[in-house]
Structure 1
Amino acid sequence: MLKFSLLGYGHIGKVHRQAIEETIGAELISIIDMNLQDEDLDVKTYTTLESFLTEDTETDVVIIATPNGLHREHAVRCLNAGKHVLIEKPMALTTDRAQEILTVAESKGLRVFSSMQLRFSPPVSYVKQLLENNCLGEIYMVNIQCYWNRNKNYYKTREWHGTNEMDGGVLFTQFSHFIDIVNYWFDEVTCTNSSFYNFNHQGITEFADSGKLDFKANEAAGNMIFTTSTYETNYESSIVIIAEKGTLKIGDQYLNELKYSNLKNVVCSEKNLSTTVKNFHPKAIAEIVEAIAENRSSVLDGHHAIRLVQFIEESYNLAEIKQD
């Protein structure tokens, strides 16, 4: 039985708790959060990380579900205390901080996992298999579109959201999974051009709410358009692949729907591949349990997550250069 402790018990922390409870071979033994004084959670609780690291002798894996800007500090402290870590996306807000986490883990002989659970979505896995088997031939284009809404209330009710120091921007907090999936499908993804805009979050966030990116995915031309400024509600999220032997579109916020498929010599059912499941965290917890038990590599290993941080950092740096 792999024993987990949860650092941070906000919205995503509660999602992780449910995932652990649904996973055979996983057990939640404690929760660490400064705002737990009046809650009866049926597990041991700590109000500070210091007290947990001093007293705990059982935890195998700490899930880091704190604000983005604290991921590096909290992960390093838990690793130095002898715990494996699962870090909510993003792994860190800079490549250097992400690499520091991996360096500490290697020195301690411990594992770092990142919460990249959409890799377990059936349509995502299906496209991965098509690419690995060269069923699509030459890939011409990869297009990402993310049209979401994050209103003023979203930022005002979450004090750390909206700041560069703790949030990092919409590519980190809202849209990182879409970039990660392209990283999962292709060996090399590099941002080549970027533009950022702040349409209706002036005075609300310290960063842009929208942007356009150009990138290379292996030899394919890629682009990404994203915004949190759509009217009232989320509109659409999708990734489209245009290839020599077919066209594919997967969509929804959780990339759990195969929207379109027209492939040469390949017949698939869009209905059968799509799923109503939107929470793939239990699959991620099960993967971590198995990877540690079998002492094998994992698609959730932290070195995969560094590519995501590098890409976003590249996009910000290119935008700064263009403004000079």
Structure 2
Amino acid sequence: MNAIQFSVIGFGRIGQRHAKIIQEYSHSELVSVVDVNTKQFDSINSLGLDCITYESIVVFLDEDKGNSEIVTIATPNGFHAEYAIKLLEHGYHVLIEKPMALSEEEAKLIIKAEKESNKKVFVVKQNRYSPPSVWMRNMVESGLIGDTLMVQVNCYWNRDARYYKVSDWKGTKDLDGGALFTQFSHFVDIMYWVFGDIKEPKAIVKNYTHSDLVDFDDSGFAQFEFENGGMGSINYSTSCWDKNMESSITIVGTKGSFKVGGQYMNEVEYCHIQGYEMPELPATNPPNDYGPYKGSAANHHYVFENIVDVLNGKEEPMATSFDGMKVVSIIERIYKSAGFTK
């Protein structure tokens, strides 16, 4: 199998994780990392990386000259679409961290550039690899749960000054986008992956505990129906004191009910389904550890393994650009219904 050459744009916490996984995987090679803040490169030695550094995407595009096959984009959210389109136009495949973009319109422009360039767009949806997520999708697709009647997604996390003070783009509407984009889009993705698209959302969005963040949200409720039948809701907050509380999804079907919960949808907490005995699932990987706060499951290595297999013609993408666009669309429609965005 051919080794795939990667470069990484955006060398913060997530970009550094991308770079380390790429270098350590036997079928990928790290060519370069790019960041406008050159202080980020101080971490290269401690991470054990061997790569070129560039101070901007402009310099990268001028000097890389096709040495990289695919570029991962781990910049602030507001740059995802612009950089993805530019890289596609220069002949690179791209991997875009969540969210794919901050509007459906931007996401569609990425898909247009993908088709015109004949390159591939991958999107990071690492929670799809967690055993409870795979189990949940199989339960619904197989019909064991019967018809889906109700779906409730609860995401209650902590993101306080310890999170927002470390970067000037976090908590801004133009570069961050909102809690549903930055904190909870992975869980919106799991809902979409299992139950499909939504319609007619009605939502309330508030900022209760982050008064220093202008025009930003930390809590909200959304209700909607699914295109495939049944109704659902998303309840979220980043205002939990000190630490994350839970990320869960509860399903009521005509043949039974179940709940996948824990801090990041990492365990099946309840399962009672007609004629079904709950198996023991493989353990979920621990959450990404950012010191004072935790993220979603540490499954990024599966994302890169899938990309390498796809580019070698061995697999189909776990998550496509269309999937990324639909998740952005769901979040945008929820925000619009609440009057948070126009």
Fold in common (TM above 0.5): yes
Aligned equivalent of 1:304: 323
| SS of residue paired to 1:118 | helix
Report Cα offsets for 1:111-133 as digits up to 9, x if no partner: 00111111111110011111111
CA distance in 1 between partners of 2:26 and 2:71 (Å): 17
| SS of residue paired to 2:149 | strand
| Cα gap change, 1:308 to 1:191, in 2 (>3 Å) | farther
Aligned equivalent of 1:24: 26
- TM-score when normalising by structure 2: 0.89
Matched, 1:267 2:277: yes
Number of residue pairs matched by the alignment: 322
Report Cα offsets for 1:197-242 as digits up to 9, x if no partner: 1111122243121000012232111011100111121111111111
Aligned equivalent of 2:11: 9
Aligned equivalent of 2:51: 43
Paired residues of 1:155 and 1:204 also in contact (CA < 8 A): no
Aligned equivalent of 1:228: 238
Paired residues of 1:258 and 1:274 also in contact (CA < 8 A): no
Show the 5 A alignment for 1:168-187. 168-187=177-196
CA distance in 2 between partners of 1:237 and 1:187 (Å): 19
Aligned equivalent of 1:281: 300
Paired residues of 2:148 and 2:253 also in contact (CA < 8 A): yes
CA distance in 2 between partners of 1:314 and 1:152 (Å): 28
Opposite residue 260 of structure 1, the aligned amino acid is Y
Among 211, 216, 224, the residue aligned to 1:202: 211
The alpha carbon displacement at 1:81 in A equals 1.1
Paired residues of 2:246 and 2:264 also in contact (CA < 8 A): no
- TM-score when normalising by structure 1: 0.94
CA distance in 1 between partners of 2:220 and 2:314 (Å): 41
Aligned equivalent of 1:52: 60
Opposite residue 272 of structure 2, the aligned amino acid is N
Opposite residue 134 of structure 1, the aligned amino acid is G
CA distance in 1 between partners of 2:7 and 2:223 (Å): 39
The alpha carbon displacement at 1:308 in A equals 0.7
Report Cα offsets for 1:150-179 as digits up to 9, x if no partner: 112321221101111000000000011111
The alpha carbon displacement at 1:28 in A equals 1.3
Unaligned runs of 5+ in 2: 287-296
Among 207, 210, 221, the residue aligned to 1:212: 221
| SS of residue paired to 1:229 | coil
Aligned-residue identity in percent: 37
Matched, 1:290 2:309: yes
Paired residues of 1:195 and 1:319 also in contact (CA < 8 A): yes
| SS of residue paired to 1:5 | strand
Report Cα offsets for 1:68-113 as digits up to 9, x if no partner: 0000111111111110000000000011111101101110100001
Aligned equivalent of 1:80: 89
Show the 5 A alignment for 1:231-242. 231-242=241-252
24-33 or 113-122, which moves further after superposition? Answer: 24-33
189-198 or 59-68, which moves further after superposition? Answer: 189-198
Paired residues of 1:192 and 1:214 also in contact (CA < 8 A): yes
| SS of residue paired to 2:8 | strand
Paired residues of 1:258 and 1:273 also in contact (CA < 8 A): no
CA distance in 2 between partners of 1:44 and 1:30 (Å): 4
Among 242, 256, 263, the residue aligned to 1:246: 256
Cα-Cα RMSD: 1.9
Opposite residue 58 of structure 2, the aligned amino acid is E
Opposite residue 20 of structure 2, the aligned amino acid is Q
Show the 5 A alignment for 1:123-134. 123-134=132-143
